[in-house]
Structures are given as structure tokens and as C-alpha cells.
Structure 1
Amino acid sequence: MGSEAKILIVDDHEDTLYALESALAPLGHDLCRATSGDEALKQVLRGQIGLLLLDVRMPGVSGLDVVRYLRRLEQTQHIPVVLLTGYGPDHELTSAAFGLGVADLLMKPVDPWALRTKVRYLYDAHRRHQALEREVRELRALTESRARPEEPGARLPVQRDRRGPAPAQDRT
């Protein structure tokens, strides 16, 4: 992620979108919105999404369907997802959601302070994860470039053991 990743808020009710945006505004992150599962998928696939707040039950593509699709793609499988539901506790939903690897499942109406705390933690953790992945890729590329001989037939220098000679064995 080159520039700052956005938080995508997905709900089919305008008032809920507004409430969630208002709750998250103090964090200072870029927020974007979608009103359907299809629209959410399009935005996530365009890139630059660092966290997804996703309503479970929407017409058409449900929140769980969105998560199922995102988890199958390498580029989106690590994006943290917080599912939101207004239908109260549901064991099957909870089991399915956590089985798909969602970060959390929250009941609406959501406590703004708790939401900000969770989003801050998940967003920062995702950014650190992305930074580590970038660093690993850079280190691998550097290692591979050093391992490749510059010229055909050239050899890498022999690495000598810098610990010194092996201790003599006692023969008494």
C-alpha cells in the first residue's frame, strides 16, 4: 500500500453509514462507503482498503458472501473485516463469521468508543502487517540479486567459518 489505506464502510441504510462515519471521523483516517456487497467488492478490488466494516444482511450479495470472496484472493485475504448485524446474537452467524476469519462481529447499534478502539487497533495491525510483507519482499529480492552471479560462469565467494578452528579432541 503506497499511500494511506482507506476504511470502507458498507451498509444498505444511509443512516447507519452516516452514524458509522461520524463515530470513526475522530480517528482521522480516509473513509469511503458502499451501499451493497457488489459495490464493496469493486472498491476492495481496486485496492487501498485497509479495513472493512461490513453489514451482514444486505439485499443481493450479503456481508458473508463478500468475506468468502475476499478470503479466496491473495491480495485481499488479510484485510481485516468487522461484521455488523442488527439481528442480535446468532450462533450460526457467529460460527460462520469467525470460521471465515473476520476480526470481530458487532451488534448494532454500535458503541462509538468501542468501535473506534477496535478499528484503531485492527487498522494499525494491518498497516504493520503490510509493512512487514513489503520488507520481506525487499529482503528476498536483495538476497536473490546477491545470490545470482553477475556473469555466466562466475562463482560466489566461499563463505569461511569465522569461528576459528575446531577444538582439538582429547586423546588421553
Structure 2
Amino acid sequence: MSAVPEKVLLVDDHADNLYALESALVPLGYPLARATDGDSALKELLRGSVAVAVLDVMMPRVSGLDVLRYVRHIEQTRDIPVVLITAMGRESNVADAALRLGAADLLLKPVDPWALRIKVKYLYETRRAQYELRTQLRSMRQHPGEELTSEPTVRTPHQRTGNSTRLPDGARGPL
């Protein structure tokens, strides 16, 4: 069984950018891990327990796009949501590549700390909920004759924080 996804991995080759990312995400209270290059990011992702990865696109040797490409081809890491950060602007082909590779989001520098915090919180809570559901499903498959003694324990991010928002009929969620 894979490790419980709990860390947010922050990857940038500039220490000041890593500090800014950390400062934006510390209020969420999630464990943070750092990497300063693509190789270190891949090693951290393969060690397990990463819930969300936030990657700078432009890094020497192994770019954020290279990391994302690799992550999507490995069973162990394929479901990890990856947020890419770029200073290249909207006119570059980075957005097309990010979409094609399955990035959860693409943010432009300078990154709005509130926007980053909201995106990471949503992706983190969703990833944890998916993990819990998979764990419950695996348990049910291993013990097919047993009935559930309680309702599933998975809650949406809104239920975890106590926020409740009713969408108008026919409206869809944030994605």
C-alpha cells in the first residue's frame, strides 16, 4: 500500500522563490517539503507521501515540465496533482504543454499567495479524500462479505472546514 499523501512538495531553483511559496502555504498547516531541482523533486515524489507538487517550469537540466512528464508515466505518482509556476506569460507554449501533460493548474509569476493557497488547499483535500476512498474500497474488496458498520468517513473539503456552499441547480463545482 502506498504512503498516506500528506506533504506538499515545493520545487524551485531559486531560494527566494521557495521561501515565498513556503510563506504562502505555511498557514494551511500542511507538511512542506522542498527541492531545488528537478532531479531532487523526482526523488522526493518517488519516496511517496506527496499530496500535491508545486513546480517551477524553468529549472536547469530537468524542468518542471520534464518532472510532470515523468510523474504521469509512473503508476505510483500518476495521480499526484501538479501545479506549475511560470514567468513566461500566457503567450508561451507552456500552457499548451501543461494542459497536454495533465497539470492541475498553471500559475503566472508573481504568484498571488491567496490564489496559491486556495488551489493547494483544494487539491490537497481532494487528494486525501481520494486516498481514503481507495483505502476503504480496498478493504471492502478484501472482506467482501462484511457490511459497512458506518457511513464512509470521507468528506469534501467544504465539509472538513465547516464551510457549506449550495450551488444553484445545474451548476458544477470549481473545476
Q: The TM-score by the shorter chain falls in which range?
A: 0.7 to 0.9
Question: Contact 2:4/2:131 (CA < 8 Å) preserved in 1?
Answer: no
How much identity, in percent, do the aligned residues show? 56
- Superposed, 1:1-172 pairs within 5 Å as 5-143=6-144, 146=145
Q: Deviation at 1:4?
A: 6.0
Secondary structure of the residue aligned to 1:73 is coil
Question: Contact 2:12/2:56 (CA < 8 Å) preserved in 1?
Answer: yes
CA distance, structure 2, for counterparts of residue 106 and residue 14 of structure 1: 18
Q: TM-score, normalised by structure 1?
A: 0.80
CA RMSD after TM alignment: 1.3
Q: TM-score, normalised by structure 2?
A: 0.79
The residue identity in structure 2 corresponding to 1:123 is: Y
Secondary structure of the residue aligned to 1:51 is strand
Q: Deviation at 1:88?
A: 1.2
CA deviations over 1:26-53 (Å, ceiling 9, x no partner): 1011011000000000001001110000
- Higher-Rg structure is 1
Secondary structure of the residue aligned to 2:98 is helix
Secondary structure of the residue aligned to 1:117 is helix
CA deviations over 1:65-96 (Å, ceiling 9, x no partner): 10111111111100010000012113521111
| Runs of at least 5 residues in structure 2 that lack an aligned partner in the other structure | 146-175
Q: Could you say if the C-alpha distance between residues 4 and 69 of structure 1 is closer, same or farther in structure 2, counting changes exceeding 3 Å?
A: closer
CA distance, structure 2, for counterparts of residue 97 and residue 3 of structure 1: 26
Number of residue-to-residue matches in the alignment = 144
| Runs of at least 5 residues in structure 1 that lack an aligned partner in the other structure | 147-172
